[in-house]
Every structure is written in structure tokens, then in C-alpha cells.
Structure 1
């Protein structure tokens, strides 16, 4: 099937580099033999993800916490904008910021083309766009979903994009110049009752890439070798529809993959894919990504039931607290022993992590699909209408620092790193829709790398 998928690389502003080397014939032969044997024996060393990068879904620590403390809290379409760039097509893939690149997935729904696109981090100039699939789009997805919703993951030298087409889940590995290194069909995806599409983002772990797919036909989690796409392990999941991305953290003293949905909260060993523990909780379908605090994990959803739950992640199965609030598509934030969440109607809650006590609540405005990010003790929450609320992560009361309008449709989650906010938004006007990528920050200061 993959052989029928068109691949194309378009590079903007590329220049050829020519090099002339003069060596004795025997020296050339000797070097060639050594290089050839090394290429067979060893995987090329990975580059490092930088301290000012945002390399995958929900950032470096996979929980929406930015390392940055100097990000702006106020902006508009004309104020505090370092640069902006037009994004062709449509997608909810959040900006992945790594090295000199800002990378996202996007889809041309008319031509049925899925691609990965890269912009220059300092200037916003489009550098390249690589087609990873043509055709095979599902006949129907949810109106709030897209054919390019998963966020690209990066390991410093490669990029990984997950896409749903031809009734299956496919993974593409690319280098930092947009060249396709490998493609892998990891399994079928044929939802029956709820044809809402696919949205889960992958996890980079060690030498592997972990991908989750859940629907009422078949569900599975698979780990692939990042260099080759070869399968390392595969774990079956319940044949139920759910949309959450898995996450990975050190919880209760060990690394755990955390997944909500399918009427349960579950944890897995990232090295083997084997289950660690499982608790009946939440509901069938969730979309948000789990968060944690010490030995406690938190999940919320969803459909058909509304529930937010806190579970002890030591394998005891203890449900510490729960309530009937619903964060269906959006994730939550944990900071300083408190959980912050905006529910579907647009009410922000602050709960004490240990017992769920409501510290405060504030009615803002929904609906919301984007997940929150925290930077420098400030929480950034964007609703679907294009308003980003910035407020202090304080358990005493709601303290607003900024209320910023940009575009009039936002589903993608912003990325915050290097003193800047990267936001993918859409402008709707006179029946026309245009997607833009904004870099929000001081124009006079280059984004730190």
C-alpha cells in the first residue's frame, strides 16, 4: 500500500554545495572500507534536543510545562508579533520547535494530500514541505478534527509524523531537511460506530517511537525503532474508540506510559509495552493527555460520561478523588501541587491535587479544544474563538495577566520556548479560511536556541 503513496520534497531557497577533495588512491580506498563497515555496524548518533526546544506534543516534559520564564503575556495581530507565516492546508498539529525549525503537519483536503512543513525559526520563512501521503482519506471525520491533527515528534536529528489514511495508521520518519527516511504501516484503523478521525501524537523514548491507535475495530500500541521503523513491541488495547495521546513520565518512582479512555486509566512499561496497572475510570472516549503529581495521576473526559479523576499510580488501584467536571478535548496542567483545568463550557477550576478540593473557579468563555501551557508560573489557555487567557498559577484566586485575541479559530495548542510563543490559528472571513503560524515575542531579540 505504501508504494502507491506519493512522496515529494519541495525546498525553498536551497543552494548546492560543491566540494573538491584530492587524496591518494590507496587512502580513498582505505577510508571507504572503514566508512562502509561503520555504516553497517552502527546507527548514526542522534543530535540532542536543545534546552530551548519544544520537541513534541506538550513540550519537553510531556505535561505542558515550558522551561521558559520570559514568554510574553500580551499580544495582538499587530503587537508583539516577531513574524507570521501562511500555512497551506488545514491541521491541528501543534508547532514542534527544534533547532532552527518550526515543524507541523498539514493537509490539503481538496487534493487529499498530507504533508509535513517546516519554517525557519528566526524569520518564519518556509523552508520545505514534504508530501507523506496522497489519497485514501476517510470518507468522514468529526467537523472539529482534521487530517493532520497529530503533532510531529523530534529527536534532534529526525522528525516523526503519524497519519491516518487508507484505513490504517502510518508513520513517516524524515530528516531535518524534509527527506523521507522510512515509512511504516503500523496497523488498521477502521472505526465503525464513531467515524471521527484520528488525533494521537507519538512519544519519543530512548531509541524508539511509541504510537497509539484506538477504535472499535482494533486497538493497539506499538513501539518502533526510530532509525528504521522496525517494530520493537506491540500491545493490544480494548476495541473501543478513544482519541487521547499517550504520555510518558516518572510517576511513583518509575517510568510509566499513561493512557486514559476505553473506560479505564492504564499504565505501561515503555521498554516492553507490558501493562503495569489498570483502573476502571473516566469514560469510553477521552481526548486530553494525562498529567501527574508525585505518585498521583489525573485524567478527564469525555463521552458519553463526564468525569475527572485522580488515581494513585503505585498499582494499588486506589481512586483518590473524582468529580463530574469534563475536559473532553483539552488536557490539564499541574503546578505546585494544584491541578488547573478549563472545562468544556469555559469554566477554569483550580483543584488541590491531593484531595480535589476546589480552591477557586472562574467563568471565562468556551468552547475549548486547545490544551493549556504553563511558562514562568503563568498559564496560557486558548479557546476555539481565538482568545488566549493568561493567568497566574495561583491557588488563592484567579489573577489574569492578559486576554489576547488572534484569529477567530484555534484548535492547535501553542508551543512556548526560547522566550517566544508559537501559535497556529485560523482567520475566517467572507467564507474563506486562512491558517497562519505566529511567532509572538520581541522582534529585536532572536529566539534563543
Structure 2
């Protein structure tokens, strides 16, 4: 049963609980997990492993958790299929495997993708009634709704899609809508679909530019705003209607990260064609409050109490003052990062592509290491942390083959 403190009085709003991780970047949509939980600080392939389950093919989407179920996307080019998988949260038993698309994986121009991309890089969203997932298939982006038992309920084509680097935008849920985006060089869209039927409630046309950020709904300047970064724009839409609240030039062309806010500014960061982190006033004045040339391209940022915390692609952790962008500290972690950091209480968990997870303190004064753990040989997915458990999607090199697994880690 949903925690009443976590849901709106409006019947339109999704009925999800504080203990769930119902969509990309968690319940609060900003990479912060519930602070009152105690996930493990230490683990390995044998320590604090509750269960491990194999995943077909390859994917970089994070786990979605609802009650006693864990949901995940996967794409298997050999089977020419894209899947939604469900597991029992307690024991790891696979509950269902639904082929959302069969065919289309081998014909959509995979050679054009970035070598780090996958065909299942999005995170499933749930409103506790249905699952919503985006897939690039057959040179188009599709949104599909499934029941919690894995039955396909509806499917809607969003737009044709010209592959540049890949596709990884995750759905966002707002009241009775699921909101999706598909920026690309052919001209993309942000679309509000009715959750129950998949019918288009509104759509907003986007420039003909490649971009990879997800629509993120945050409360800023006193109201709910749907923020899109990239395509050389920072755009705020009314999530209920799709109408433009404000839009300014200022982001770089290609963004991957999901924005955060302190309620006054929203943060845009990108890495092509220029490196930048910038704070943009959320009140519609168009003011760029500050900007620097820090390269935070793929991993999304975190915000807490006046400070930004970032793990840069090149393996450096840093803390910035949100008021002016000034650097408070930086520390070299090592490796390359594609996964986004997750904040749990006073700790930050950050995993590099080699499967090394660095746990460090939320401390604006200095970098303070808490722990370092190794799991897997190859990691691109952001870990999901909820209910005191860590759901980590990792790949192992076994007998010359790359095999993916979903681990459930917890203190034992």
C-alpha cells in the first residue's frame, strides 16, 4: 500500500510509495534515494549479494522497483528482440519476460551508434497500474504500456529517429500523463500521452539536432516545470499542456544529463560541441546566472543544501557552489564514468565503467572517501538504491563473451 505522505490528493497522480523507485533518478527525480535507508557500504561478487540473475543481450537502463517487483529493459540483437523483464525483489526469480518488439534491431543502423550505446538504455516508469517504456526500433521511437503482469496494453509511435549516437531518453509521469521525448537530427518531439490509452494529449516540436536528455519534471520558481536541455536550448514546458513557460539559448547541442534544481535555477550540462555546466534562472527571465567549462557530459549531477556534486566523465569528483559555480574541491577517482551518482543520506555512490563503485561523503568542505567496491567488468547503468538494497546492472566477461546480470545487494 502506498505511503500517504508520498502521493498527491489528486486521483490523477501515480500512487507510488516512498520505498519504491518508480522511474529514472528515483521518486524525487533528482538522483536522491530515501535518506533513512541503510544500503551496504561494502560488497563484492560474493559479499552482501542477496541474489543475481542473468539478463539477455545488452542494456543500460536502470532497475525500476515497485513493491515486490523489479523491472528492467533488455535488448538481444541475436534474438532480434527488445524485452521488459520482471523479477521478484526478494528472491530474484524471473516473473515474466515480454518481447515488446521483435525484429527491427538489425535493420536500424546500429553501426551508426556510439560503441557505448545499447538498444535498451531507457529506464521503465510505473504509476503502480502500468509500466511505460521507450524503445528505438525500426528507425523510430515507440512508447509502450504494459500491465504489471507483462501484457502489452498499448503502443504509440512517437516519431521517426535518425541514429547519431543512440537513444536513451526515459519516460516521465505527471498526473494522468506519461511524457516522452525523442530528440534527433530528423526533428524530434516531446509528447504528453494519456497513461490509460496512449492517446496524444499534447506535443511540442524540437529542433533537428541530436540530443539524449530525458524530460525531467521538477518544482522550480514555485511551480512544476518540465525541463529539457540540449539542442542548444534550455526549455521549460507546462507538463500538463506542453505550452512553453520559457526557453533560452544556452545549452550545448548534445546533452545526456538530467537536470537538477535548487528551486531558483535549473542546471544544464553537456559535452558537445562545448563542455559546460550552467545555472539558468527558472523564473523565465532568461538569465544565465553562471557558467563554467567543466565537462559533465554523461553522468547527471546531484544537489544538496546549496552545493552541486558531480562525477565527471573523466573520473573526477567535484563539488561546486550552486550560487556562483565556484569549485569547492575536486578529487580523482579513476576510470571513465557513464553511470550517474546516487545520493543516499549523507553518502554518494558513483560507479565507473570498470565496475568500481566509490562511496564518498556529502561534504562541501572536502572529498571524504567512505568505501570502494568492485563488481563486474563493465558497467554503464546507474544503480537503483531503495529499501536498503542496491540493484546493480553489470556485465562480466566470461569465456570470451560479455554477459549481463542484475545483482541485488544488501547487508547480510
TM-score w.r.t. the length of structure 2 is 0.94
User: Is contact 1:246–1:259 with CA below 8 Å preserved after alignment?
Assistant: yes
Per-residue CA deviation, residues 286-311 of structure 1 (Å, 9 max, x unaligned), is 11111111211111112111111111
**Does 1:341 find its partner at 2:341?**
no
User: Is contact 1:55–1:154 with CA below 8 Å preserved after alignment?
Assistant: yes
Distance 1:46 1:342, change over 3 A: closer
Q: 1:115 matched to which residue of 2?
A: 83
3-state DSSP of counterpart to 1:293: coil
Q: 1:244 matched to which residue of 2?
A: 213
CA separation in 2, counterparts of 1:431 and 1:284? 37
Q: 2:292 matched to which residue of 1?
A: 323
1:201, CA displacement in angstroms?
Answer: 0.2
3-state DSSP of counterpart to 1:291: coil
**Does 1:106 find its partner at 2:78?**
no
Q: 2:129 matched to which residue of 1?
A: 157
CA radius of gyration, larger in? 1
1:279, CA displacement in angstroms?
Answer: 2.1
Per-residue CA deviation, residues 102-123 of structure 1 (Å, 9 max, x unaligned), is 1011011112100100000011
Q: 2:27 matched to which residue of 1?
A: 60
Which residue, out of 234, 249, 261, partners 1:292? 261
3-state DSSP of counterpart to 1:136: coil
User: Is contact 2:12–2:176 with CA below 8 Å preserved after alignment?
Assistant: no
CA separation in 2, counterparts of 1:46 and 1:250? 15
**Does 1:147 find its partner at 2:119?**
yes
CA separation in 2, counterparts of 1:111 and 1:394? 47
Q: 1:400 matched to which residue of 2?
A: 369
Q: 2:171 matched to which residue of 1?
A: 202
Distance 1:45 1:214, change over 3 A: closer
1:411, CA displacement in angstroms?
Answer: 0.4
CA separation in 1, counterparts of 2:13 and 2:235? 31
Runs of 4 or more consecutive aligned structure 1 residues displaced over 6 Å after TM superposition: 44-47
User: What runs of 5+ residues in structure 1 fail to find an aligned partner?
Assistant: 1-43, 444-449
CA separation in 1, counterparts of 2:103 and 2:166? 15
CA separation in 1, counterparts of 2:329 and 2:14? 44
Distance 1:46 1:325, change over 3 A: closer
Q: CA RMSD in A?
A: 1.4
User: What runs of 5+ residues in structure 2 fail to find an aligned partner?
Assistant: 1-10
**Does 1:416 find its partner at 2:385?**
yes
Per-residue CA deviation, residues 65-96 of structure 1 (Å, 9 max, x unaligned), is 11143122211111111111111211001000
CA separation in 2, counterparts of 1:45 and 1:439? 32
Which residue, out of 49, 54, 72, partners 1:86? 54
CA separation in 2, counterparts of 1:102 and 1:430? 28
CA separation in 2, counterparts of 1:196 and 1:56? 23
User: Is contact 1:68–1:417 with CA below 8 Å preserved after alignment?
Assistant: no
Distance 1:349 1:45, change over 3 A: closer
1:47, CA displacement in angstroms?
Answer: 7.1
Per-residue CA deviation, residues 117-170 of structure 1 (Å, 9 max, x unaligned), is 000001111111000001122122221111101100000111011111122111
Distance 1:203 1:375, change over 3 A: same
CA separation in 1, counterparts of 2:44 and 2:251? 37
3-state DSSP of counterpart to 2:198: coil
Distance 1:46 1:269, change over 3 A: closer
1:172, CA displacement in angstroms?
Answer: 0.9
Aligned residues: 397
CA separation in 2, counterparts of 1:420 and 1:298? 29
